[in-house]
Amino acid sequence: MAEIERPQIYLVTPPAFELSEFPDRLAAVLDAHPVACLRLALATADADAVSRAADALRELAHARDVPLVIESHVALVERLGLDGVHLTDGARSVRNTRKALGTDAIIGAFCGASRHDGMTAGEAGADYVSFGPVGATALGDGTVAGRDLFEWWSQMIELPVVAEGAVDEEAVSTISPVTDFFAIGEEIWQEDDPAAALGRMTAAMG
């Protein structure tokens, strides 16, 4: 049996940041660690602010051969020259999004802790599914996507899987053997040195 590869890092932006400051912090992280993908996940509904952020981060990411996807805003993908979209509503809009964006776009679907949603998203054309949160959090309804879900998925389904939400070093250590990616965002951006914080995360992969 082949040796299991370490999961890759899927970096997620904070839900709000200053364009005068965040790109430098992001660049430091991208230059310190291999990152497979970057997700722009702004909470604002201000299309102009999202577009300005996307323009700035696209240059940074593409200069380092890192694809940039945007959370939810399907209509902005082609307009802003982005690589795809991360959908947060499970499998519901995957099929229509694939039709809209074509075969080359990256389309991911967050499916909570639902195997059924994950399989449906894959059948509808998603390039990956993500499950979470993988750690305890006061947010949401308290459901946690446990190691057993990732273990089952990695044994039964070929589609890449992402672990995200409340990721800490313990979760990284536990889930690393059975996930393809960890989506890590606020877990490191809240630290003074996010590159060092990400280093501690990746060290926990063993």
Cα 69 to chain centroid distance, Å, stands at 9
The answer to whether 6 touches 205, Cβ cutoff 8 Å, is yes
DSSP 8-state class, residue 176:
G
Contacts of 16 (CB under 8 A, 6+ apart): 42, 43, 44
Q: Is the pLDDT of residue 51 over 80?
A: yes
Domains observed in the chain: 8-203 (3.20.20.70)
DSSP SS3 for 128: strand
Q: Tens digits of per-residue pLDDT, 52-82?
A: 999 999 999 999 999 999 999 999 999 999 9
What's the mean per-residue pLDDT of the chain? 96
Closest CA to 84 of 101, 62, 109, 65: 101
pLDDT at residue 4 in the model: 57
What is the pTM assigned to this prediction? 0.96
pLDDT at residue 3 in the model: 47
pLDDT class of 128 with cuts at 50, 70, 90: very high
**CA atoms of 23 and 44, how far apart (whole Å):** 18
